[in-house]
A and B are shown apart, each in its own frame.
Chain A
Amino acid sequence: MTDARHEGIPASARRVRGVLRRHAYLILKSWTRIVSMMYYPTVTMIVWAFVTLYLAPTNDFLRDAPGFFIGAVLLWDVLFRGQLGVSLTFIEEFYARNLGNLFVSPLTLPEYIAGQLAISVARALIGVGGACVFAYLLFRFSIFSLGIPLIAFFANLLVFGWAIGLAMSGMILRLGLGAEELAWAAIFILAPISGVYYPIAVLPSWLQAVAWAIPSAHVFEGMRGVLQDGAFRWDHFWAAVALNAGYLALGAGVFAWAMRDARNRGTLLQMGE
């Protein structure tokens, strides 16, 4: 009854589609879920847009780059949604007590992770996309004014979000649902050193060294370069790519370690609310 290839789709791709299908059903049948994905980034964007309107008349930088705060908040949310998309996908399986069913099926861990990442892209596009539409409708700010570099910023932040999301999934698997708050809060420890709303140069020198070790600091510094000087900083781009490769491997490693630990402790059948 089972087939390695079916309808031209390799078995592995079909299993990734199974993970996607499970979460697509969940998201698409609930308009409240879709609204909640857009709600936070839209409200935050509106707050920063009014801050811009308030400060721009007296601030040279904001007068030259009025979309700075809005662009920053939208890009920060790419990172947040990227991480949440991975972590929440995993938490959903916890609540459903579905981990046992998933991992006695032929689904491999890399296939499951591929599904998580794909869902994360969808959640980021829905959440940030909605906020971008409102940014244009309400304030005539188009995120696309960042031009081609936007793709580099978006991709780097998303991948960093994946790395954190995978590590958080591993921690939740190890510590149980009591650690669920990690999924919501972990990212914010990086906000002060990501330079979302200010240059890294304002940080104390020792903290600057820490900041340059995370990809998001390079992305937001790169964003300021585009908005302020109209120049794409390749050095920051490549630094972010290299750091992301390391963090993604680390995040996947933590998740794989936690999964093996769960198979040792016998927790895959017991986990749930």
Chain B
Amino acid sequence: MLSPAADSAIVVVDLAKSYGAVAAVRGVSFAVRSGTTTALLGGNGAGKTTTLSMLLGLLIPTSGRATVLGADMPSDRHRVLPRMNFTSPYVDLPKRLTVRENLAVFADLYGVRRARERIDAVAADCDIAELLARPYGSLSAGQRTRVSLAKAVLNEPDVLLLDEPTASLDPDIGDRMRTYLERYQHRTGCTMLLASHNMGEVERLCDDVIMLRAGVVVDQGSPGALIARYGRGNMEEVFLDIARGRADERIAGSAAEESTA
């Protein structure tokens, strides 16, 4: 399911990153099918952001290989970066510029056609039209998250990497953003790789899940398959099993129950 196939938009093979003696990512392999949404899950320090950074070309791997849309990252990144975008809580936008000015800058960087119309369109979609004239620094955390999402879809990317895309959003706006992402993917066929701690979001948006712990892929599958395999009611419980190292006992327990039945 998550092994490389002809239609994989993202392929990662034995990817590793170490900082001196500290191994942040230790030989992970997975593939993300075109047009699907995959979640990269794990506790803090599991290696999610490091993996996303290597897929964006921001970080040079210690070993292994990552390709996005057929281009090696980071060596061949400039061939595909115009077709990618991302959001991350680790970056921000210039605070003194208005939201429209910030988006105009990124429209230039991504070569967006009919920039003004496109900015108006994504502003309407991300519910930030009334914020366009305001300095980015004057916005609330939730409003900034929506602006970051608008920046991320400004160039209509074919591959979207989302690190905590709905963090800081209230349930109403969060739900609207998820609906927007679903519609966006349905309309464009975009491939999404999502790091999130919101398991409801993962169940709703994701076709596949990759579970990381201490820089290693410990399990992968669809949300439904993982829930069934661990004998749990939802992804939150599966996440806790894996994060707390209870995965093996749970799977053994589930298998025993199945054989008894």
The interface of chain A, by Cβ under 8 A from chain B, is 1-4, 6, 11, 14-15, 17-19, 21-22, 25-26, 29-30, 92, 96-108, 260, 263-266, 268-270, 272
- CB within 8 Å for A269 and B91 given contacts A1-B156, A21-B105, A263-B60: yes
Residues on the B chain within 8 Å of A1, using CB: 112-113, 118, 154-156
Residues on the B chain within 8 Å of A101, using CB: 91-93, 106, 151
Query: Would B59 and A270 count as touching, CB distance under 8 A?
Result: no
- Is B96 on the interface with A (CB-CB < 8 A)? yes
- Is B86 on the interface with A (CB-CB < 8 A)? yes
Residues on the A chain within 8 Å of B81, using CB: 104-106
- Is B56 on the interface with A (CB-CB < 8 A)? yes
Query: Would B118 and A270 count as touching, CB distance under 8 A?
Result: no
Q: A2-B82, A4-B111, A266-B17 provided; 9 other pairs, C-beta below 8 A?
A: A1-B156, A11-B82, A25-B97, A26-B96, A100-B90, A104-B85, A263-B59, A264-B60, A270-B90
- Is B183 on the interface with A (CB-CB < 8 A)? no
Residues on the B chain within 8 Å of A104, using CB: 56-58, 81, 84-86
**Assembled-state Cα–Cα distance A216/B95 (Å):** 37
- Residue among B59, B81, B86, B109 with max Cβ neighbours from chain A (10 Å): B109
A-B contact pairs, 19 of them (CB 8 A): A1-B112, A2-B110, A3-B111, A15-B109, A18-B106, A19-B109, A21-B108, A26-B96, A26-B97, A29-B96, A96-B94, A97-B91, A104-B85, A105-B110, A106-B109, A108-B78, A265-B19, A266-B59, A269-B88
Interface residues of B in 130-187 (CB under 8 A from A): 151, 154-156
The interface of chain B, by Cβ under 8 A from chain A, is 17, 19, 49-50, 53, 56-60, 74, 78, 81-86, 88, 90-97, 101, 104-113, 118, 151, 154-156
- CB within 8 Å for A96 and B83 given contacts A3-B111, A263-B74: no
Residues on the B chain within 8 Å of A265, using CB: 19
Query: Within the complex, which residue of A14, A96, A268 is in contact with B58, where a contact is CB–CB below 8 Å?
Result: A268
The 9 closest A-B pairs by CB, nearest first: A18-B108, A1-B156, A100-B91, A97-B92, A105-B109, A18-B109, A96-B94, A106-B81, A269-B90
- CB within 8 Å for A21 and B104 given contacts A1-B113, A266-B59: yes
In the complex, which residue of chain B has the Cβ closest to the Cβ of A14?
B108
Residues on the A chain within 8 Å of B58, using CB: 100, 103-104, 263, 266, 268-269
Residues on the A chain within 8 Å of B93, using CB: 96, 98, 101
CB distance from A20 to the nearest CB of B (A): 9
Residues on the B chain within 8 Å of A18, using CB: 105-109
**Assembled-state Cα–Cα distance A2/B79 (Å):** 13
Query: Within the complex, which residue of B49, B96, B108 is in contact with A15, where a contact is CB–CB below 8 Å?
Result: B108
In the complex, which residue of chain A has the Cβ closest to the Cβ of B105?
A22
Query: Within the complex, which residue of B101, B106, B118 is in contact with A25, where a contact is CB–CB below 8 Å?
Result: B101
Query: Would A100 and B88 count as touching, CB distance under 8 A?
Result: yes
In the complex, which residue of chain B has the Cβ closest to the Cβ of A20?
B108
CB distance from B195 to the nearest CB of A (A): 13
**Assembled-state Cα–Cα distance A11/B112 (Å):** 10
**Assembled-state Cα–Cα distance A260/B74 (Å):** 11
**Assembled-state Cα–Cα distance A4/B112 (Å):** 9
In the complex, which residue of chain A has the Cβ closest to the Cβ of B154?
A1
**Assembled-state Cα–Cα distance A108/B109 (Å):** 10
**Assembled-state Cα–Cα distance A6/B118 (Å):** 14
Residues on the A chain within 8 Å of B56, using CB: 104
CB distance from A264 to the nearest CB of B (A): 5
Residues on the B chain within 8 Å of A11, using CB: 82, 111
Query: Within the complex, which residue of A21, A92, A106 is in contact with B110, where a contact is CB–CB below 8 Å?
Result: A106
CB distance from B29 to the nearest CB of A (A): 20
In the complex, which residue of chain A has the Cβ closest to the Cβ of B115?
A6
Residues on the A chain within 8 Å of B17, using CB: 266
CB distance from A91 to the nearest CB of B (A): 12
**Assembled-state Cα–Cα distance A15/B118 (Å):** 17
- Residue among B50, B90, B104 with max Cβ neighbours from chain A (10 Å): B90
**Assembled-state Cα–Cα distance A25/B59 (Å):** 30
Residues on the A chain within 8 Å of B19, using CB: 265-266
**Assembled-state Cα–Cα distance A265/B113 (Å):** 35
- Residue among B49, B94, B96, B118 with max Cβ neighbours from chain A (10 Å): B94
Query: Would A2 and B86 count as touching, CB distance under 8 A?
Result: no
Query: Would A272 and B92 count as touching, CB distance under 8 A?
Result: yes
**Assembled-state Cα–Cα distance A266/B59 (Å):** 5
